[in-house]
Homo-oligomer: A and B are copies of this chain.
Amino acid sequence: MDSFFRYDGAMAEQTSLDRPGPDLAPCCAPIADGAMSAAEAEVLAATFATLADPVRLRLLSLVANAPDGICGCDLTGVLDRSQPTISHHLKSLTEAGLLEREKRGRWVWYSLRPNALTDLAGVFSSA
């Protein structure tokens, strides 16, 4: 799962040999670069829904500011939310392709997915 955020026409043509999942659907031409299709809008909206929560945004920010990643144990307890809630949000961020997850013994290490932020920035900059 590496190519989060790539446009492939109208969900079309070239078979997805390089695209592991079905979740990497038509996405994401710049907003100001032609009218958006319904399918494109669905995918983008789902991504923004992930960002539309203050706790998730702060978690993303905390991970993004930890160059070598950060232990999940350092993320529970700092945002005034229960451990299940933090775990739930980290799962959302990971499934949205924003974070990467690595299990290390008893701990889980989170890091920013390499192109996550720049891909998102591209949605707002005209081609």
Interface of A toward B, CB cutoff 8 Å: 31-36, 38, 41-42, 44-46, 48-49, 51-58, 60-62, 64-65, 112, 117-118, 120-126
Contact = CB atoms under 8 A, between A and B. Distances in A.
A51 B48 contact: yes
B52 A45 contact: yes
A64 B117 contact: no
Q: Is the interface of A mostly helix, strand, loop or mixed?
A: helix
A42 B54 contact: yes
Contacts of A36: 57-58, 61
Contacts of A60: 31
Contacts of A49: 48-49, 52
Contacts of A62: 35
Nearest to A122: B121
A125 to B, nearest CB: 5
